[in-house]
Amino acid sequence: MERLEQTGKEYKVNGETIKARKKTNNKWFETQDSISYWDDFNRQKIIYPGIMRIAKSNENNFPRFALDNDKNFFFGNDCYFLVGKDLEYLWLLLNSTLLGYLEYV
């Protein structure tokens, strides 16, 4: 029995019940649960960090939002992303001086 097999079967080993990993669809992203949004990673997206610390002494810390037009940027666990239509306008607004100013008020 392979402990990493993806069948969901239970086995008895030395009197202990051991379960194999849940059955998956064997997609590239290696999650154990099927997710419906995996194709969003291949779309145009706005990417932003999980924590945005902007020092009040350094207002030039922008932009904090990145636009991925090439649809090929993948990121780790401390980033989030938005998908939709006409993201260029939202991206420009998010990185604008106006929104940067509102952060300081």
Please indicate, yes or no, whether residues 18 and 55 belong to a single structural domain of this protein: no
| DSSP letter string, 28-96 | TT--SS--TTGGGGGS-EEEEES-----TT-TT-----EEESSS-----TTEEEEE-S-HHHHHHHHTS
Mean pLDDT of 36-44: 85
Please indicate, yes or no, whether residues 27 and 65 belong to a single structural domain of this protein: no
Q: How confident is the model at residue 91 (pLDDT cuts 50, 70, 90)?
A: very high
Owning domain of residue 2: 1-35
Mean pLDDT of 24-48: 75
Q: Answer whether residue 27 shows pLDDT above 80.
A: no
Please indicate, yes or no, whether residues 28 and 57 belong to a single structural domain of this protein: no
Report pLDDT digits (tens) over 61-89. Answer: 656 788 998 888 888 778 889 999 899 99
